[in-house]
């Protein structure tokens, strides 16, 4: 449990760092809403609600490979997954560790090593 709590906090800090890196002047609520209202993000949100976390992650990587997803979309996607907590992630056959590795792999697509 302590190990998972530490990992959870570590990923949260990484997400905060990435948001600051991607939005050096800070992100406005308007910018956040614009990202969260894209067709891709809405599809990801629907999959998250259906607890299809792996399918959502696959869609994110697919769209990134096609040039249809940016780094911020991935950061907010993994932030949403992390907010669910370990219990809900496990119910959808996912884990906090998979959130960490997915975030790391996704950022590599944008030449960001974390």
Q: What is the pLDDT of residues 47-95, one digit of tens each?
A: 999 999 999 999 999 999 999 999 999 999 999 999 999 999 999 999 9
Q: Which two tokens stand for residue 9?
A: 């906090």
- Does residue 93 lie in a domain region? yes
What local confidence, expressed as pLDDT, does residue 85 receive?
A: 92
Greater pLDDT, 2 or 68: 68
What local confidence, expressed as pLDDT, does residue 3 receive?
A: 62
Domain that holds residue 82: 1-109
| pLDDT band at residue 1 using 50, 70 and 90 as cut-offs | low
- Does residue 101 lie in a domain region? yes
Whole-number Cα distances in Å, 6 to 20, 85, 96, 99, 104: 21, 13, 11, 14, 17
The arithmetic mean of pLDDT across residues 27-40, rounded, is: 95
- Does residue 114 lie in a domain region? no
On the 0-12 / 13-18 / 19+ scale of CB atoms within 10 A, 22 is middle
Q: Which two tokens stand for residue 59?
A: 């869609």
What local confidence, expressed as pLDDT, does residue 2 receive?
A: 59
Query: Total domain count for the chain?
Result: 1
Greater pLDDT, 37 or 114: 37
- Does residue 42 lie in a domain region? yes
What phi-psi label fits residue 105: left (phi over 0), alpha (psi between -120 and 50 degrees) or beta? alpha
- Does residue 6 lie in a domain region? yes
Q: Which two tokens stand for residue 55?
A: 């399918």
On the 0-12 / 13-18 / 19+ scale of CB atoms within 10 A, 112 is middle
- Does residue 72 lie in a domain region? yes
- Does residue 26 lie in a domain region? yes
- Does residue 88 lie in a domain region? yes
């Amino acid at each position: 449990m302590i190990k998972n709590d530490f990992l959870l906090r570590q990923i949260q800090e990484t997400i905060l760092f990435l948001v600051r890196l991607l939005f050096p002047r800070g992100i406005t609520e308007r910018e956040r809403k614009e990202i969260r209202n894209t067709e891709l993000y809405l599809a990801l949100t629907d999959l998250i609600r259906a607890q299809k976390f792996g399918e959502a992650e696959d869609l994110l990587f697919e769209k990134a490979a096609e040039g249809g997803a940016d780094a911020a979309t991935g950061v907010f996607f993994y932030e949403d997954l992390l907010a669910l907590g370990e219990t809900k992630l496990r119910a959808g056959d996912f884990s906090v560790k998979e959130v960490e590795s997915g975030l790391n792999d996704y950022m590599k697509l944008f030449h960001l090593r974390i």
